[in-house]
Amino acid sequence: MNQTASFSDPRLAELDGFTVTIDAAAERADIVLDRPPYNVISMGARDQLRLVFEALDEDPRVRVIVLSGAGEHFSSGGNIKGFLEASPEHVSKLAWNIAAPARCSKPVIAANRGYTFGVGFEISLACDFRIASETCQYALPEQKLGQIPGSGGSARLQKIVGITRTKQIVMRSKRISGQTAADWGIATECVADAELEAVVSALVEELRGFSPLAQRTAKKLLNDTDDALLTTAIELEGLNYSRLRQSEDFKEGVEAFHEKRKPAFAGR
């Protein structure tokens, strides 16, 4: 059963345009952008989202985090006027805040439908999995404002789809559909709009079935070696493999395999 999350940090006493609930039985936390109709993400919300991801990362009740938007759209992006009002110091922290899902050691799923623009696209790119509905449209429209993406959007996108397709999206402010995003490898998959929540819930359950320790290790390894030399990546993979060989979860996984039963991972 979902319960509204409470945080000890006074900066999270009143959330700015989003809600956070925890279903302890499902080991799931839901962050829902909720500023209708387009779920615009304010400057203050970016700071709070970082703090929430950090708090949920430390919460033992949570194994998987889901980021979604209320209604027909994930988010049309940021508060445009807020960029002019924000101090240079504040603006310099935007990319760090929006990268919070990537730094979080737990799996993070973005459920994208409708408009997923600007910072909405950028924070989704920082998640581990992007499940797009058939109504989803991704875009980085900053060129129309005389700007460029400022929270990691173009950098992450270029890693995924290469420079040619990134220029198409960034320099021409082109929208791409959820299906195209799946075809290009931006979205994990594209599903019927009515099935989005069910597919996300199934993915949460799938991820819960793995060792928490192995999941955390895999996520950090993949993120850390994304721009590493192949030889460095192989070396780090071997070191992490060796470390996991000593874990209780690995011992349990091997025993469960031979006993033909479902493993009961403890995260140790």
* Active-site amino acid positions: 122, 142
The residue type of 85 is E
Tell me how many degrees the CA angle 17-175-122 measures, rounded to the nearest 5. 45
**Pairwise CA distance, residues 151 & 172, whole Å:** 18
Residues 6+ away with beta carbon under 8 Å from 51: 7, 9, 11, 12
**Pairwise CA distance, residues 105 & 199, whole Å:** 22
227-235, Cβ contacts within 8 angstroms, sequence gap of 24 or more: 227/159
The secondary structure of 77-136 as a DSSP string is -B-HHHHHHS-HHHHTTHHHHHTHHHHSSS-EEEEE-SEEEHHHHHHHHTSSEEEEETT-
Give the rounded distance of the alpha carbon of 95 from its chain centre: 14
Q: What is the β-pairing status of strands 28-33 and 64-69?
A: parallel
Burial label, 87 (beta-carbon count in 10 A; 0-12, 13-18, 19+)? exposed
How many residues are there in the chain? 268
Residue reference for tokens 């058939």? 134
